[in-house]
């Protein structure tokens, strides 16, 4: 995953009042921490940042007053109603450094006819290079039948990544599709339709 380049500005104001003014100016408050250094409080351009952090574990290349910083998105606070980004926590990283991240699990393919699958685990924890983080781990269920399972140990991981989730953890479970019994109202409706058809 390549890093997204953004220009950031150091901020010296804090609090809800400042955060509200920043959002009105199309800026997002953020903080960078890690490697034992003092946290750096910054603002980021709202539109470009919102696009850059759409994928999990987005890697940002920040220009802060002419100084470059590589940072991994660790937490995003959003307005519960409007879903706009209110604040971002960033972890400073270095080229080649390994970090622990949660990666989404994506299912690809179709199970054998007459079967359904259930995704039991939506994310897995990996240790991987900060500058080569996968956006997702794919699980291929093409043609799989009832009784088959995919465990964390079965996942094909990106080169250099190490699985931290329990290897025996169930990721996908395949079972037979169960036809739902019609409800009483549906059964009565079907019976009435049958009688009406017979009377014609």
Q: How far is 8 from 114, CA to CA, in rounded Å?
A: 53
Q: How far is 112 from 114, CA to CA, in rounded Å?
A: 6
* 59 neighbors 94 (Cβ within 8 angstroms): no
Q: Which two tokens stand for residue 168?
A: 């025996």
Q: Which two tokens stand for residue 58?
A: 């987005």
pLDDT band at 164 (very low <50, low <70, confident <90, very high): very high
How many CB atoms within 10 Å of residue 3? Answer: 17
For the domain 4-93, what is the CATH superfamily, name and number?
Answer: Ribosomal Protein L25; Chain P (2.40.240.10)
Q: How far is 151 from 137, CA to CA, in rounded Å?
A: 13
What does the domain layout of the chain look like in residue ranges?
A: 4-93, 100-176
pLDDT in tens, 115-162: 999 999 999 999 988 888 888 898 999 888 889 999 999 998 888 889
| Whether domain 100-176 has CATH 3.40.50.2300 | no
How many CB atoms within 10 Å of residue 157? Answer: 15
């Amino acid at each position: 995953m390549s890093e997204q380049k953004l220009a950031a500005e150091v901020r010296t104001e804090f609090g809800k009042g400042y955060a509200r003014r920043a959002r009105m100016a199309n800026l997002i408050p953020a903080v960078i921490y890690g490697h034992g250094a003092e946290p750096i409080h910054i603002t980021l351009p709202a539109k470009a940042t919102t696009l850059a952090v759409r994928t999990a574990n987005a890697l940002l290349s920040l220009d802060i007053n002419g100084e470059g910083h590589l940072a991994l998105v660790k937490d995003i606070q959003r307005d519960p109603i409007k879903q706009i980004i209110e604040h971002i926590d960033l972890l400073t990283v270095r080229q080649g450094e390994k970090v622990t991240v949660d990666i989404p699990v994506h299912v690809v393919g179709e199970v054998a006819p007459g079967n359904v699958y259930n995704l039991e685990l939506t994310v897995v924890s990996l240790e991987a290079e900060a500058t080569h983080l996968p956006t997702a781990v794919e699980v291929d269920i093409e043609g799989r039948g009832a009784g088959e399972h995919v465990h964390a140990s079965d996942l094909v991981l990106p080169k250099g990544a190490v699985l931290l989730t329990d290897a025996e953890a169930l990721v996908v479970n395949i079972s037979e599709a169960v036809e739902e019994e019609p409800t009483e109202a549906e059964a009565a409706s079907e019976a009435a339709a049958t009688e009406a058809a017979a009377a014609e």
